[in-house]
């Protein structure tokens, strides 16, 4: 499932980046077009201005010039002094001839004052020295002289950006009136009309438009990010829900496994916690600690497939039984391998019984061939086994368990893991409830599966051995021992002897219906621990009736258990000797 989360994280990041880059790209294109549009407007204005100027000049030139009143703004043009009839008077008012270039120049000055547009009439062969070209105009004149086309580009004037355009002036027949003496012929490029459109206001409009578009795109970007987050959350919630359902299902199976055996109950949780402690001591991050904890919770899931006759057996296993129970790690792996949320733990679960020296199972891995988290889980599992009571051996203290683990360093356990475990587990407090003894009635009945006497349906002597731990839960005990029973069997046959034993068992079951434990052992002996039951004299009389005319006698001994000092670690025979 972590793989899916990483993939979701990767995909969501790709979506975030892609969405952002997409909008940035579109926004950049729009902004670029806004500024390009500003240049297009400038070009259009420049061409329009030039065309108007040229149209006006063409009109003036086609009429041989324009006579205007002589004023301060329009004094006689000294550069037209060679023309006859340049000046004349009418009704006392003096008029002077103005050619197209001169009137156009005057109009350009007014246009600049009104609109800020720089317009200039210039040439390499100047009729009027005041029309001297600047550096850019000189370059433009060279260009149009060869191309005979308009030349334009952005250029700075006094640190302000302008769109500059020069339109070629082609010599026409009407132009020769003023310019023939300069050597021009019809069709020659004799100069150009230069116009400079200030870009500041156009750029300002482009900036305002771009700013509005940027705000709009930012809103769209935020909505898109929220949409992606919502998508990510829904997918994440789906993964969480799927993971929860799977884990509830698996943990439900674990609960079934642990309810089968008192020893197993709580074992998975303890192992998971111990493994997490060790991993933290070794410096693993939160993710690895989470993985090893989940693996600890599921490491024995395969035991659900192990037969009760092996799984619930409270005594040491035979070689064949041990080989069978070893299969639980492979079964666990098979149960988890096809469920994607367990991809990160399935191999840890399979390999948690591999030993550092290669003596483990199922694959006999050596050293670091076993995943490090599986090695941590193996030590945690062993530690819990050492510190939990079993029927056939008592539990070790934390210090004793860690001492044994230290001795097995480099053999069963990875030395690095051992070093960390000695620190991580030294302060563990073991609950006294960590033992294999059944607690509930259901557990006790399942447990006694191995110790039921098939003839009488009472518990056997072997079960009494396990109950030494709990014998002090009762106040009283009686021991009934039959005499001459062997001879009775010999005289009347085994089936008669079995019938007699069943009668005695039925009597005891009737006398001690609840709050008691009834055992048959050594063939012809009965043992009862109880808190409430028949009166001892009443029981004696009932036994005598059953045994009448059988020549079988009995001995009944009773004891108050509270008065007996019982060490639960003593052997069964020693306890009986103390009691009777």
What's phi and psi for 400, nearest 5 deg? -65, -40
Q: Are residues 319 and 460 in the same domain?
A: no
How far apart, in whole angstroms, are the C-alpha atoms of residue 70 and residue 94?
A: 6
Q: Are residues 409 and 460 in the same domain?
A: no
Q: Tell me, what CATH number does 347's domain have?
A: 1.10.3210.10
How far apart, in whole angstroms, are the C-alpha atoms of residue 164 and residue 416?
A: 79
- Token digits of residue 189: 């490029």
Q: 536-547 vs 494-511: helix axis angle to the nearest 10? A: 160
Q: Are residues 490 and 565 in the same domain?
A: yes
Helix (H) or strand (E) holding 326: none
Residue 262 is predicted with a pLDDT of 57
Residue ranges of the chain with per-residue pLDDT less than 70: 1-5, 56-58, 60-64, 99-102, 104-117, 175, 177-180, 257-265, 312, 314-315, 389-394, 432-449, 466-470, 565-580
Task: For strands 66-69 and 93-98, give the pairing.
Answer: antiparallel
Residue 408 is predicted with a pLDDT of 95
What's phi and psi for 90, nearest 5 deg? -140, 120
- Total structural domains in the chain? 2
Query: What does the pLDDT look like over 188-215, one tens digit per residue?
Result: 888 888 888 888 889 999 999 999 999 9
Residue 549 is predicted with a pLDDT of 87
Q: Are residues 279 and 400 in the same domain?
A: yes
Give a yes or no: residue 357 inside a domain. yes
Q: Are residues 501 and 543 in the same domain?
A: yes
Q: Are residues 495 and 544 in the same domain?
A: yes
CB-CB neighbours of 263 under 10 Å? 21
- Token digits of residue 478: 């009686």
How far apart, in whole angstroms, are the C-alpha atoms of residue 216 and residue 31?
A: 13
Q: Are residues 302 and 359 in the same domain?
A: yes
**Edge-to-edge strand order for the sheet containing 87-90?**
66-69, 93-98, 87-90
Residue 218 is predicted with a pLDDT of 94
Residue 580 is predicted with a pLDDT of 59
Give a yes or no: residue 276 inside a domain. yes
- CA geometry: angle 465, 263, 438, nearest 5 deg: 50
Residue 238 is predicted with a pLDDT of 81
How far apart, in whole angstroms, are the C-alpha atoms of residue 21 and residue 24?
A: 5
Examine the fold and report which residue of 386, 409, 424 is the final residue of a domain before the chain moves on.
424
Give a yes or no: residue 186 inside a domain. no
Q: 286-298 vs 200-260: helix axis angle to the nearest 10? A: 30
Give a yes or no: residue 506 inside a domain. yes
Residue 269 is predicted with a pLDDT of 87
Q: Are residues 526 and 474 in the same domain?
A: yes
- Token digits of residue 573: 């025979």
Q: Tell me, what CATH number does 532's domain have?
A: 3.30.70.270
Give a yes or no: residue 306 inside a domain. yes
Examine the fold and report which residue of 407, 424, 441 is the final residue of a domain before the chain moves on.
424
Give pTM, 2 decimals.
0.55
Q: What is the DSSP string of 388-416?
A: S-BTTBPPPPHHHHHHHHHHTBTTTB-HH
- Token digits of residue 580: 């009777």
Range of 414's domain? 261-424
DSSP letter at 74?
S
Q: Which residues, 6 or more positions from 300, have their beta carbon under 8 angstroms from its beta carbon?
A: 254, 257, 264, 267, 268, 328, 332
Q: Are residues 419 and 455 in the same domain?
A: no
Give a yes or no: residue 131 inside a domain. no
Residue 459, beta-bridge partner list: 452, 519
For residue 246, whether the previous peptide bond is cis, meaning omega lies within 30 degrees of 0, is no
Q: Are residues 355 and 271 in the same domain?
A: yes
Residue 436 is predicted with a pLDDT of 53
Q: Are residues 414 and 470 in the same domain?
A: no
Give a yes or no: residue 4 inside a domain. no
Q: Which residues, 6 or more positions from 113, have their beta carbon under 8 angstroms from its beta carbon?
A: none
Residue 379 is predicted with a pLDDT of 96
Give a yes or no: residue 156 inside a domain. no
Per the CB < 8 A criterion, the answer to whether 374 and 354 are in contact is yes
Per the CB < 8 A criterion, the answer to whether 76 and 87 are in contact is yes
How far apart, in whole angstroms, are the C-alpha atoms of residue 511 and residue 539?
A: 8
Q: Are residues 405 and 480 in the same domain?
A: no
């Amino acid at each position: 499932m972590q793989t899916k989360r990483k993939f979701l994280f990767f995909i969501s990041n790709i979506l975030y980046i892609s969405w952002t880059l997409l909008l940035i790209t579109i926004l950049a294109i729009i902004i670029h077009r806004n500024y390009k549009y500003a240049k297009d407007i400038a070009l259009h204005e420049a061409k329009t201005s030039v065309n108007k100027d040229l149209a006006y000049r063409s009109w003036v030139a086609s009429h041989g010039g324009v006579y205007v009143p002589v004023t301060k703004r329009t004094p006689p043009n000294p550069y037209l002094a060679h023309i006859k009839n340049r000046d004349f008077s009418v009704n006392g008012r003096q008029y002077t001839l103005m050619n197209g270039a001169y009137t156009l120049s005057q109009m350009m000055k007014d246009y600049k004052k009104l609109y800020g547009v720089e317009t200039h009439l210039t040439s390499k062969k100047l009729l009027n020295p005041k029309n001297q070209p600047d550096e850019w105009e000189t370059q433009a004149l060279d260009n149009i002289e060869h191309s005979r086309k308009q030349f334009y580009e952005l250029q700075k004037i006094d640190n302000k950006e302008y769109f500059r355009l020069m339109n070629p002036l082609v010599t026409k027949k009407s132009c020769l009136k003023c310019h023939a003496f300069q050597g021009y012929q019809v069709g020659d490029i004799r100069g150009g009309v230069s116009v400079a459109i200030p870009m500041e206001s156009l750029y300002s409009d482009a900036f305002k438009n771009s700013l509005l578009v940027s705000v709009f795109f930012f809103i769209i970007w935020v909505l898109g990010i929220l949409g992606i987050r919502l998508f990510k959350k829904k997918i994440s919630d789906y993964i969480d829900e799927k993971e929860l359902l799977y884990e509830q299902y698996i943990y439900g199976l674990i609960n079934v496994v642990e309810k089968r055996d008192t020893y197993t109950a709580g074992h998975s949780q303890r192992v998971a916690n111990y493994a997490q402690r060790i991993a933290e001591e070794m410096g693993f991050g939160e993710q690895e600690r989470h993985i090893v904890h989940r693996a600890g919770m599921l490491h024995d899931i395969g035991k659900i497939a192990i037969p009760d006759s092996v799984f619930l057996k409270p005594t040491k296993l035979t070689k064949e039984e041990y080989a069978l129970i070893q299969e639980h790690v492979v079964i666990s792996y098979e149960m988890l391998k096809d469920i994607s949320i367990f991809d990160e733990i399935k191999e840890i679960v399979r390999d948690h019984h591999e030993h550092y020296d290669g003596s483990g199972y199922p694959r006999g891995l050596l050293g670091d061939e076993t995943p490090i988290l599986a090695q941590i889980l193996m030590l945690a599992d062993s530690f819990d086994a050492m510190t939990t009571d079993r029927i056939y051996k008592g539990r070790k203290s934390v210090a004793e368990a860690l001492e044994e683990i230290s001795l097995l360093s480099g053999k069963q356990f990875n030395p690095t893991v051992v070093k960390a475990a000695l620190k991580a587990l030294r302060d563990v407090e073991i609950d006294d409830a960590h033992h294999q003894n059944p607690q509930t009635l259901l557990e006790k009945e399942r447990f006694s599966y191995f110790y039921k006497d098939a003839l009488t349906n009472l518990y056997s002597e072997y079960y009494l051995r396990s109950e030494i731990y709990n014998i002090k839960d009762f106040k009283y005990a009686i021991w009934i021992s039959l005499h001459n029973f062997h001879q009775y069997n010999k005289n009347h046959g085994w089936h008669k002897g079995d019938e007699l034993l069943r009668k005695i068992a039925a009597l005891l079951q009737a006398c001690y219906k609840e709050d008691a434990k009834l055992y048959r052992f050594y063939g012809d002996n009965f043992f009862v621990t109880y808190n409430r039951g028949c009166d001892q004299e009443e029981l004696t009389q009932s036994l005598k009736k059953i045994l009448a005319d059988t020549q079988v006698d009995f001995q009944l001994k009773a004891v108050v258990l509270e008065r007996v000092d019982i060490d639960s670690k003593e052997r069964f025979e020693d306890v009986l000797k103390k009691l009777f």
